[in-house]
Amino acid sequence: MSSDFILALVLVIGVLFFVNIQQQRARIVLLARALHPYQIERLMQSLIGDYLRAMGETQAERRTQVLATLQDSEHRLRAQLQRLAADFGQTPAARARVSRIAFGLPWATQVLPGLTFDLRRALAIHADGVARAMDNARSLTERDRAYAITAELMLLQHSCHWFCKSRNIASARLLARHHTSWAQTVEGVTPETRAAYLALITGQTTGTR
């Protein structure tokens, strides 16, 4: 293998790496601008921590007390997620594409649009899923309701990280931050969310909300 070939290969890899980083930064900026008017990230982190603390309570009375303090945050987060989904729904389709390829690849959404899904649709699914879990139409116990909402919020975080970086990085962050795998999170959300989400990311459904 000649030195010229090795040098050319290193240059190509360097260019691809640089382009990938630049495209990731552009997606991060796009999502950050959409999130900026809201307190969604802070509310999500606070609620996830409080839900986990409540689920850890061995006394039902104490658990009920903890969950009762979260109602205002739940209402605010629910409303803000609905508004975010509506706002981001105005994003041009080309900029909202998420590559289904597990690792970051430059120009993946442009070159392989058939291997993408629409973040606009994903955010709508997540917003509706959080609202559904909070409504508790299945009459789950307090612990199970808190678990379902937590899973919905974690899956929303995963989708955002997937959009900004890649599926592998999103799954690694989920495992590192919450000690929960992607598969466990999908299993924990409401059945309606699970069905719509899996259909979306596997390419069985397209379009916006």
**How many alpha carbons fall within 13 Å on the CB side of residue 12?**
6
Q: What's the gap between Cα 2 and its chain centre?
A: 45
Within its chain, how far is the Cα of 137 from the centroid? 23
Contact 104, 28 (CB under 8 A): no
CA dist 55 and 53 (Å) reads: 5
Domain ranges of the chain: 3-201
Sort 168 into a burial class: Cβ within 10 Å, 0-12 / 13-18 / 19+.
middle
Write down the pLDDT at residue 19: 82
User: Quick one: angle between helices 40-55 and 60-68, nearest 10?
Assistant: 170
pLDDT digits (tens, 9 = 90+) for 96-144: 999 999 988 888 888 889 999 999 999 999 999 999 999 999 999 999 9
Burial of residue 159, with CB atoms counted within 10 A of its CB: 0-12 exposed, 13-18 middle, 19 or more buried: buried
Write down the mean pLDDT value for the chain: 92
Whole-prediction pTM value?
A: 0.90
Residue 103 is classified by DSSP as S
Q: Which long-range contacts (CB under 8 A, 24 or more apart) does 194-201 make?
A: 196/125, 196/129, 197/122, 197/125, 197/126, 197/129, 197/155, 200/117, 200/118, 200/121, 200/122, 200/125, 201/100, 201/117, 201/122
Write down the number of H helices and E strands in the chain.
10, 2
Tokens 């997620």 locate to 81
What pLDDT does 108 receive?
86
169 — phi, psi (to 5°)?
-65, -40
Mean pLDDT per block of 10 residues along the chain (209 residues) reads: 73 79 94 97 95 87 90 97 97 96 87 93 98 96 94 98 96 96 97 97 65
Give bridge partners of residue 97 from the DSSP assignment.
118
- What pLDDT is stored for residue 209 in this prediction? 43
pLDDT score, position 205: 60
Which residue matches tokens 């975080």? 157
